[in-house]
C-alpha cells in the first residue's frame, strides 16, 4: 500500500480524511492535504513547478 503524506505539513494521511488532486498549474504532481491543513487553509507548494495555493 502506498504511503501518502500531506503536501503542506508532511503528516501521514489515511482513510478518507484528506483530499488529493493534481496541481492546477502543471497537472503533473499530486497535491495531498490533510484535514487539518484543509481546515486551516494552509499553503501548499507543488514540488514540480513551485506553484503555491491555499
Ligand atoms: Zn497537513
Ligand atoms: Zn505543479
pLDDT by residue (tens digit) across 4-53? 999 999 999 988 889 999 999 999 999 999 999 999 999 999 999 999 99
**pLDDT over 80 at 1, yes or no:** no
- 27: DSSP letter: S
The three grid cell numbers given for residue 6, joined into one nine-digit string: 500531506
Of the bound ligands, which one is closest to the alpha carbon of residue 37? 1
Q: Cell triple for residue 36?
A: 487539518
Whole-number Å distance between alpha carbons of 27 and 53: 14
Record the pTM: 0.85
Looking at all shown ligands, the one closest to residue 18's CA atom is 1
The CA 38 to ligand 1 mean position distance, Å, reads 7
- 3 pLDDT exceeds 90? no
- Span from the CA of 27 to the centroid of ligand 2 (angstroms): 6
pLDDT at 2 over 90: no
Task: State the distance from the centre of ligand 1 to the C-alpha of 19, rounded, in angstroms.
Answer: 10
Number of Cβ within 10 Å of residue 13's Cβ equals: 21
**For 35, phi and psi rounded to 5 degrees?**
-60, -40
3-class SS of residue 48: coil
Amino acid at each position: 500500500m502506498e504511503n501518502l503524506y500531506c503536501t503542506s505539513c508532511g503528516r501521514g494521511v489515511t482513510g478518507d480524511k484528506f483530499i488529493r488532486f493534481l496541481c492546477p498549474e502543471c497537472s503533473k504532481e499530486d497535491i495531498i492535504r490533510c484535514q487539518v491543513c484543509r481546515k486551516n487553509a494552509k499553503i501548499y507548494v507543488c514540488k514540480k513547478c513551485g506553484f503555491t495555493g491555499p
